[in-house]
Structure formats: structure tokens, C-alpha cells
Chain A
Amino acid sequence: DAGVIQSPRHEVTEMGQEVTLRCKPISGHNSLFWYRQTMMRGLELLIYFNNNVPIDDSGMPEDRFSAKMPNASFSTLKIQPSEPRDSAVYFCASSRDRDSPLHFGNGTRLTVT
């Protein structure tokens, strides 16, 4: 089991650029979560998918953020345009079902200058 795989591990971009973060959940897991971690706000849930369908996106901060899950093995989180305050570590996590613990990827550290 390779675990949850995120790419890239680090992303440095300039303000105004588009950023796409990628996630491959654990095979057989049907729930996928995107979290953002900052010193100021801790771990925040951005969006949650179940069976590839977005269930709760109330944590997505603005329209600049969008997430997709075109199939069970791939999800993207896109920020367009990016701003310096988006700098954070973005985690993807998956779980087998709603009663199961989350398994996290190693995160993408995003720096927007």
C-alpha cells in the first residue's frame, strides 16, 4: 500500500499565477478530504468528497479555490489566481468509508510570493 500520494511536495509561485495540487488516494478508499494547515489557523477542512462527489465545500475560502475528483483515483485542488495569504501546507487524506480513520499524504508546501 503506497499510501496517499500528493504532488508536488513543494510549490513556489508568484502572486496571480495558477496553482494545481494533485492527490492520489489509497485504492479502495471512497472518501477524500483536502485540508490546509497554517500556524495561525491550524488544520482546516477545505472540501470533502464521497464516491467522487463533493459533499461539503463550505471550507473553501473563496471562488479562487476549486477542487475536482474526476475518478476514484485522482483529485486536484486549484487556486487561481494565487495570493500570498494562500501560503500553507495543503494535505489530502482519504478514508475507506465514513466510519474509518483518515490517512494523510505528506502534503504540498505552497509558497506564494
Chain B
Amino acid sequence: GEDVEQSLFLSVREGDSSVINCTYTDSSSTYLYWYKQEPGAGLQLLTYIFSNMDMKQDQRLTVLLNKKDKHLSLRIADTQTGDSAIYFCAESIGSGGSYIPTFGRGTSLIVHP
């Protein structure tokens, strides 16, 4: 199975909160990332959390990490139509001195007006 798993789609109404979930399998993950991909563009780093943290907040974004359950979530408050994009979760694991990120398949967030 995949190392990082995400649901494929999430649909929300404008102004509501969005919660995108991710599970990972490697307990030695050091960093966990959230990236955003808009159509025709590359992946843009949104935020990241070090594995010894439980929560990180950055304006409308809140990242929660449950290390025991290997569960990561991204909450977007007051979701706007401009937030419609694909959101990727990624984990970074030390391996022979390199930290090669492993990405999930991405969650397509659709925001309805």
C-alpha cells in the first residue's frame, strides 16, 4: 500500500471550514508538509510541521499532527473559491543521510459559491 494516504475529493461551501486528512505509515517521519497545486502549476509549499509538534497555525491554516495515530490534518478556515486546488500531504524520512519526501495522491478541494 501507499506510504501516504489521502482522500481524493472534498467539496465545501464558500465560507465554511475545510479539513483535509492524511495518514502516513513511517513513524520515523521528521517533517510533514502540505503543498497546494493549482491548475497548470507546480506544487507550492503551504506549511509544514516538525514531527515533535502537535499543532501549527498560520493565518487561516491550522495543521494538526497526531503522531500516535500517524494522522495529519489541514484545516482551512473561511474557505474561499480561490482555495480550490489539489492539496498534497508529504512526509520526509531520513534515509542514509537524505530526506526524500514521499507524497500522497492529493485531495482535490472544490469550493462552491
A residues sitting closer than 8 Å to B (CB atoms) are: 4, 31, 33, 42-43, 45, 48, 50, 55-56, 91, 93, 98-99, 101-107
- Chain B residues near A50 (CB, 8 Å)? 98
**B54–chain A nearest beta-carbon distance, Å:** 20
CB atoms of A106 and B98 under 8 A apart: no
**Is A48 in contact with B88, judged by CB distance below 8 angstroms?**
no
Could you tell me if B100 and A56 are in contact, using CB atoms closer than 8 angstroms?
yes
By secondary structure, the A interface counts as strand
Provide the residues of chain B in CB contact with A104, threshold 8 Å.
35, 42-44
Q: Could you tell me if A91 and B42 are in contact, using CB atoms closer than 8 angstroms?
A: yes
Which single residue of chain A is at the shortest CB-CB distance from B45? A101
What's the Cα separation between A86 and B48 when bound, in Å? 32
Closest to B90 in A: A102
Find out whether the CB atom of A4 lies under 8 angstroms from the CB atom of B42: yes
Closest CB in chain B relative to A75 CB, distance in Å: 15
Task: For chain B, residues 83 to 99, give those with C-beta under 8 angstroms from any C-beta of chain A.
Answer: 88, 97-99
A22 to chain B, nearest CB (A): 15
Q: How many whole Å from A12's CB to the nearest CB in chain B? A: 16
Name B33's contact: one of A4, A56, A101 (CB within 8 Å): A101
| Closest CB pairs A-B (n = 8) | A104-B42, A42-B105, A104-B43, A43-B103, A98-B99, A106-B42, A101-B45, A105-B42
| B-side contacts of A103, CB under 8 Å | 45
Contact (Cβ within 8 A) A48 B43: no
A-B contact pairs, 6 of them (CB 8 A): A43-B105, A55-B98, A56-B98, A98-B97, A106-B42, A107-B41
